[in-house]
Amino acid sequence: MRCKVNILVWKNRVTQLLGVQYPLIQGGMAWVANATLAAAVSNGGGIGLIGAANMPPEILEQELIRARELTDKPFGLNIMLMSSTADAAMELAAKHRVPIVTTGAGSPGKVIERLKPLGTVVIPVIASVAQAKRVEKQGADAVVAEGTEAGGHIGDLTTMVLVPQIVDSVNIPVIAAGGVADGRGIAAAFSLGAEGVQIGTRMVCCSECTVHQNYKEAILKARDRSNVVTGRPTGHPVRCLKNKLSARFEELENAGASIDDIEKLGTGRLRAAVVDGDIEWGSVMAGQSAGMINDIKPAAEIIQTMFNEAADVISRLPHFEF
């Protein structure tokens, strides 16, 4: 006997909270997640994010205005709390009444206190049970539980073990991130108890994403062992694709180089990859799912295909009788 899956399966606390068709958030990737990408994802039925990162406030405000011009759907802003521009990003979110804000790399308390009274949905990205419990007490509306398979800055636990432990620890909705790039991953995330997914690397390879073509090609060429983690001695490890830069990081780390020297090597390297297309000495941040990505399609098509596949996967699961 086969189970029937209706589109209503995607109507849950996350879609209700975010006001979207699909329970999907696009990752707020620095230098990648701009208004063009965010609007494309939102128009495709998910939630697109603009990645504030270290963006100058005047540029970020232009991006927020541009997103409003490109979509009439809900979109969001990711604020990296360790950034020197985090407070300015928070105030711009307040000024422009951004519907959804995700946070990372720090305690979201002040963001929750500032933005929730304005009606903004605040969703911290977390990597441990302790963090999830803490932000729930602070008033977070949901959490993104991000496993170490994700690209960029990462934690230690895999998505497979992190998500169910977070689900068991909090009462707010949990959104799974890290290693999800197709419908099978979405179905797996829901099996673990998540009510939504955050997708990063797959969205880099959508036609609306404005990163340099070399960056996209590097992801398309990636295989299962093309990833590496650099910068562990700094306390802020980063997952990226192997290249000359990652090899140099490894040399410095093995030689016991100072944290200053390691951080100096990384300065400006993400921009070099994303904007200039330097995929040898630039930091090509990408998750382990890069090896699963083989094409470039419009964001809306990627989203619809993934959720159709997820519904099909679930519908084909056997019904066991005991």
**Per-residue confidence band for 320, with pLDDT thresholds at 50, 70 and 90:** low
Residue 235: predicted pLDDT = 84
Domains and CATH numbers, the chain: 7-207 (3.20.20.70), 223-285 (no CATH)
Q: Cα–Cα distance between 192 and 90 in angstroms, integer?
A: 32
What would the pLDDT profile of 182-225 be if each residue is shown by its tens digit?
Answer: 999 999 999 999 999 999 999 999 999 999 999 999 999 999 99
What would the pLDDT profile of 254-281 be if each residue is shown by its tens digit?
Answer: 888 888 988 889 898 999 999 999 999 9
Residue 1: predicted pLDDT = 36
Q: Which residue has the higher pLDDT, 1 or 172?
A: 172
* b/e burial code for range 58-79 (CB count within 10 A of at least 16 → b): eebbebbebbeebbebbbbbbb
Please state the rounded mean pLDDT for residues 6-18.
78
**What average pLDDT does the structure give for the chain?**
92
What would the pLDDT profile of 110-123 be if each residue is shown by its tens digit?
Answer: 999 999 999 999 99
Please state the rounded mean pLDDT for residues 28-42.
94
What would the pLDDT profile of 286-310 be if each residue is shown by its tens digit?
Answer: 999 999 999 999 999 999 999 999 9
Please state the rounded mean pLDDT for residues 68-84.
94
CA distances from 47 to 65, 67, 203, 221 (A): 16, 12, 12, 27
Amino acid 30 reads: A
Q: Looking at 2-6, 7-11, 156-160, 205-209, which range is the least confident one?
A: 2-6
Q: Indicate if the pLDDT at residue 174 is higher than 50.
A: yes
Residue 299: predicted pLDDT = 96
CA distances from 149 to 29, 74, 178 (A): 15, 27, 5
Q: Give me the sign of the Cα torsion angle 81, 83, 84, 87.
A: negative
What would the pLDDT profile of 40-60 be if each residue is shown by its tens digit?
Answer: 999 999 999 999 988 999 999
Residue 5: predicted pLDDT = 45
